[in-house]
Amino acid sequence: MHRPIVATFVFTDLHMDNGHKTPPSKAPTLYSWRWDKSDLNYYHDCSRVSLGNVTVPSHLVSCVSHCCGQDHSHLINQYYGSIIDALQQAASAAVVRIPVSSLKPYWNEHLDQLKRDSMFWHSLWQSAGRPRSGTLYHIQRSCKAKFKSGIRDAYLNYESRYDDVLVDNILRKKPNEFWKAWSSKFRKNINQNIKFKDCVSDSEVANKFAEKFSSVFYNSATDSSAVSEFLQAYESYRTSSENVYDNVYDYAAMFSVEVIDNCVRGLSLGKACGPDSLSAEHLRYAHPSIMVHLKLLFYFIVTHRVVPDQFGYGIIVPLMKDKSADLNDIDNYRPITLIPILSKVFESVMLTLCEDLLQTSNLQFGFKKGVGCTNAIFAFKTTVGHFVNNGSCVYAAALDVSKAFNRVNHFKLFRTLVNSRIPLAFIDVLCHWSGKLCCVVR
CB 399 within 8 A of CB 408: no
Q: DSSP assignment of 39-68, as one string? A: -HHHHHHHHHHHHHTPPP-GGGTTPPTT--
Task: Give the β-pairing of 313-320 and 333-338.
Answer: antiparallel
Mapped onto helix, strand or coil, the DSSP state of residue 299 is helix
Q: Give the dihedral sign, CA 263/268/269/272.
A: negative
> Could you give the C-alpha distances from 177 to 87, 157, 167, 266, 356, in angstroms and in order?
33, 20, 11, 19, 29
Q: At what angle do helices 224-238 and 424-434 cross, to 10 degrees?
A: 150
Q: DSSP assignment of 184-201, as one string? A: HHH---TTSS---TT--S
Would you call 187 exposed, middle or buried from its count of C-beta atoms within 10 A (0-12, 13-18, 19+)? Answer: exposed
d(CA 441, CA 199) in angstroms, rounded, equals 15
Nearest partner of 422 among 268, 287, 244, 290, judged by Cα = 244
The pLDDT assigned to 218 comes to 77
Task: State the number of CA atoms in the 13 A half-sphere of 265 facing the CB.
Answer: 8
Q: Which residues contact 66 (CB under 8 A, 6 or more apart)?
A: 303, 304, 305, 425, 428
CB 330 within 8 A of CB 208: yes
**Number of neighbours of residue 178 by Cβ within 10 angstroms:** 17
Residues facing residue 318 across a β-bridge: 335
Q: Which residues contact 197 (CB under 8 A, 6 or more apart)?
A: 328
Would you call 387 exposed, middle or buried from its count of C-beta atoms within 10 A (0-12, 13-18, 19+)? Answer: exposed
Mapped onto helix, strand or coil, the DSSP state of residue 97 is strand
Would you call 346 exposed, middle or buried from its count of C-beta atoms within 10 A (0-12, 13-18, 19+)? Answer: buried
Chunk the chain into consecutive blocks of 10 residues (it has 442) and report each block's average pLDDT, rounded to whole numbers: 64 53 58 85 94 89 71 90 94 86 75 90 90 90 91 81 73 75 61 68 81 80 89 89 65 83 91 90 94 93 90 88 75 86 94 85 80 84 92 86 72 90 89 88 82
Would you call 216 exposed, middle or buried from its count of C-beta atoms within 10 A (0-12, 13-18, 19+)? Answer: exposed
CB 342 within 8 A of CB 80: yes
CB 234 within 8 A of CB 298: no
Task: State the number of CA atoms in the 13 A half-sphere of 245 facing the CB.
Answer: 18
**CA torsion, ordered 7, 13, 17, 22, to nearest 10 deg:** -160
> How long a stretch of residues is the chain?
442
The pLDDT assigned to 403 comes to 64
d(CA 414, CA 237) in angstroms, rounded, equals 12
d(CA 426, CA 306) in angstroms, rounded, equals 10
Q: DSSP assignment of 144-165, as one string? A: HHHHHHHHHHHHHHHHHHHHHH
